[in-house]
Amino acid sequence: MKNYSCIYCKDTGYIDVPDNEAAYDREYDRLDNMGQFTGEECHERALKHSGSHKEPCPYCNKK
Name the residues that contact Zn ion, by CB under 5 A. Answer: 6, 8-9, 57, 59-60
Shortest Å distance, C-beta 54 to Zn ion: 12
Shortest Å distance, C-beta 59 to Zn ion: 4
Q: How does DSSP assign the chain, residue by residue?
A: ----S-TTTTTSSEEEEESSHHHHHHHHHHHHHHT-S-HHHHHHHHHHHH-EEEEE-TTS---
- In the bound state with Zn ion, the residue whose beta carbon lies nearer, of 9 and 46, is 9
Instruction: Please check whether residue 5 is in contact with residue 58, taking contact to mean a CB–CB distance below 8 angstroms.
Output: no
- In the bound state with Zn ion, the residue whose beta carbon lies nearer, of 11 and 32, is 11
- In the bound state with Zn ion, the residue whose beta carbon lies nearer, of 8 and 37, is 8
